[in-house]
Amino acid sequence: MGVQGLTGLVEERASFFTELRVRDTKLVIDGSSLYHRLCFAAASAAEFRRGGDYGPFAAAVGDFFGSLRACRVAPFVVLDGGRDADDRKLAALRGRAAERLRAAHGLSRGEGGCLLPLLTRQAFVQALGRLGVPFVQCFAEADREIAGLANRWGCPVLSLDSDFCVFDLAGGYCPLSHFQWRSVCPAEGAPGCYVPARCFSAERFCRHFGRLDKSLLPLFAVMVGNDYVGLAALEVFFSKARLPRGGAAGKGGKHARLQGLLHWLSQFAEPAEAVGSVLKYLQKHQREEIRELLCASMEDYTPSDVDLEEFFRNGKYECEAARKAGLPRWVLDALAKGELAPFISDALILRSTFLHVQVENMQRPSAHSTALPIRQVIYRLLLKGPRNAEAASPSQLANELPVVCEFDRLQKTLKKTFVQAASLPTDFCDDHFPLDKLIEVPMSCRQMLLLETLGVKMSFLESIPSHLQLPIAVTCYWIRCSEPKVKLHQLKALLLMIVSGELHRITNDPDPTVVHAEDDSIAYNDFLKWKEKKLQNEGFDLDAAHSFCQWQCCLQMGLYLNQLLCTPLAEPDLTSRLYSGTLVHRLHQELKSTPSVENLFSSSPKMTRLYQVLLNTVAS
């Protein structure tokens, strides 16, 4: 994310920042930066290795917005959507996916590092909804819309993306790394309190480089390389131009090149003049193409005219790219409200998706391969196939079914695979599930298709609490489709983890009218003592990790299919400790040596009964 090397350059000098006391203001927050920051700050390599702990992450999200509320700061979170229709960031996204793959492999071998757990973004969106924090999911990249909204309100942007050093922001850019939300201070001589922060000053930055005009910063960003433009096209310029302070290629490293370019640009009054001078260093046949590339790329730093204020007022999101895509109105609304994931718009518009790697056994097929049949049904619902599937021969049908390009790992490398959409079962012909009218299909039909995909009958789930029906249906699917087969200890560990999440939820319910049964409280305290004692063990079983990764992949795609079918089953709450990688790994280890751990919640008849119901349902 951002301009290559710019964060390091601006962090070298405290003088590029002004001190800021954030209180009594609106604040536009880059959602992607925030959930990455909170996740990486709250977890250790051991937790990343085990697939993440969403409960503590959700608690950190709650604490963050609690600090803002205490300072009377009104937050508005803006999230990235899917990839742009022209897919200009594909090369950057592939590079990032390869980096994640290297990090996952390192973690699987016991090395340190950070890797965003698979369902973090979904947990973040759920936490925002639960906290009542206003948020919007943009149709594509959010940067320009974040800048547009902040300028409309004259308030700061909170992010960790160096692109915001380049935008002309009326209220300034506050890097999350300098936003001390855990150290709220009382205001001097006034009621209330504030968050100590620093705000990047483009004026000070430009003044340092020979009174550089701010309007040249977008050209600088494009020339040194961002997510959209690489350096290769301009390498001739950097090799020939005499940049001040030894800033040419190979003389002093990346920051020297950045500093040299900034000083060189300071001689020009405006971007067109500078572009003309850059082109003189290139061959004549390249010049027009590079001019167009530079000018088009500088537009990426123009704040968007999409009116997000209107969305936060009445829930309607309008943008030209969304209109051009020609998607059904209900799909656009659901995307903007975060009720559908960017995965859905990528599959629908680009017929291309990225499957994020986890810490899994790299010698085995990707954990995502277990959930492939669910994805194929999603692709079928999104994309049109042959008009008359019944009349088509099997070979015609196979040739006409839509195809989606998936980026996933093959052992330790990123690989592109073309996946054919599923042919819906006979009882579910395409005409019954048109995308534009999917919201109008009877709920019973939508539920039937979801459960048919997962291989479960509703009658099996009736004894399960409604908010756990989807996770248990997914667990049944996981047991049936995983390769190698799920071991009994792995299943029991997973179900005990789900029960512990339920116990945490009911004993920590903030509603004062809810009466907690004494035996539940005793069971919860006993569980906390057990956990405190047992979580110190750092043993790691890579094969068990791979199996639990497969479960998360199945849950992710089960969630996406459920959302696409307009939630015929209740959406499970990831923020209430539905999945804790640290705990499920510990339970799995204990069950292998001490089977009596299965009776962990024996002092609560309610939790014991729930565990038996879950186990019997999955076994049946």
Residue of 599, 118, 585 lying closest to 371 (CA atoms): 118
Q: How far, in Å, CA of 278 to CA of 237, rounded?
A: 7
In the prediction, which pLDDT does 574 show?
95
Q: What confidence tens digit (pLDDT) does each residue in 460-510 have?
A: 999 999 999 999 999 999 999 999 999 999 999 999 999 999 999 999 876
Q: What percent of the chain has pLDDT over 70?
A: 92
Determine the residue type at 596: S
Q: What confidence tens digit (pLDDT) does each residue in 539-565 have?
A: 899 999 999 999 999 999 999 999 999
Q: In sequence order, which residues have a C-beta less than 8 Å from that of residue 115 and are 6 or more positions away?
A: 48, 100, 103, 104, 107, 357, 358, 359
Superfamily (CATH H level) for 6-300: 5'-nuclease (3.40.50.1010)
Residue of 387, 400, 590 lying closest to 496 (CA atoms): 590
Backbone angles phi, psi at 20, to 5 degrees: -140, 135
Comparing 619 with 384, the larger pLDDT belongs to 619
**C-alpha pair distances (Å), 596 with each of 164, 496, 530, 591, 593:** 55, 12, 13, 7, 9
Local structure of 104: helix, strand or coil? helix
Count CB atoms within 10 A of the CB of residue 334.
Answer: 20
Q: How far, in Å, CA of 185 to CA of 30, rounded?
A: 24
Q: What confidence tens digit (pLDDT) does each residue in 377-409 have?
A: 999 999 975 434 444 445 555 557 899 999 999
Name the token pair of 455: 């291989």
Local structure of 415: helix, strand or coil? strand
Q: What confidence tens digit (pLDDT) does each residue in 240-271 have?
A: 888 886 444 444 455 888 999 999 999 999 99
In the prediction, which pLDDT does 228 show?
63
Least confident piece of the model among 50-59, 184-193, 205-214: 184-193
Residue of 547, 557, 537, 534 lying closest to 488 (CA atoms): 547
Q: Domain ranges in the chain? A: 6-300, 367-385+399-619
Residue of 529, 534, 523 lying closest to 585 (CA atoms): 534
Asked if residue 3 lies in contact with residue 231, where contact means CB atoms within 8 angstroms, the answer is: no
Q: How confident is the model at residue 286 (pLDDT cuts 50, 70, 90)?
A: confident
Q: How far, in Å, CA of 172 to CA of 142, rounded?
A: 17
Q: What confidence tens digit (pLDDT) does each residue in 508-540 have?
A: 876 666 667 888 899 999 898 998 887 665 689
Q: How far, in Å, CA of 441 to CA of 291, rounded?
A: 51
pLDDT of 428 above 90: no
Q: How confident is the model at residue 430 (pLDDT cuts 50, 70, 90)?
A: low
Torsional class of 305: left (φ above 0), alpha (ψ -120 to 50), beta (otherwise): alpha
Q: What confidence tens digit (pLDDT) does each residue in 35-49 have?
A: 999 999 988 899 999
Residue of 26, 63, 122, 49 lying closest to 557 (CA atoms): 122
Residue of 429, 430, 435, 402 lying closest to 326 (CA atoms): 435
Name the token pair of 57: 């992450």
Q: In sequence order, which residues have a C-beta less than 8 Å from that of residue 534 and are 6 or more positions away?
A: 586, 590
In the prediction, which pLDDT does 388 show?
40
Count CB atoms within 10 A of the CB of residue 170.
Answer: 14
Asked if residue 198 lies in contact with residue 19, where contact means CB atoms within 8 angstroms, the answer is: yes
Q: In sequence order, which residues have a C-beta less than 8 Å from that of residue 499 and are 6 or more positions away?
A: 601, 607, 610, 611, 614
Backbone angles phi, psi at 54, to 5 degrees: -75, -25
Q: How far, in Å, CA of 527 to CA of 518, rounded?
A: 14
**pTM of the prediction?**
0.94
The mean pLDDT of 335-343, rounded to a whole number, is 98
Q: Provide the CA 144 distance to its chain's centre, in angstroms.
A: 18
Q: How confident is the model at residue 159 (pLDDT cuts 50, 70, 90)?
A: very high
In the prediction, which pLDDT does 512 show?
63
In the prediction, which pLDDT does 225 show?
81
Asked if residue 212 lies in contact with residue 262, where contact means CB atoms within 8 angstroms, the answer is: yes
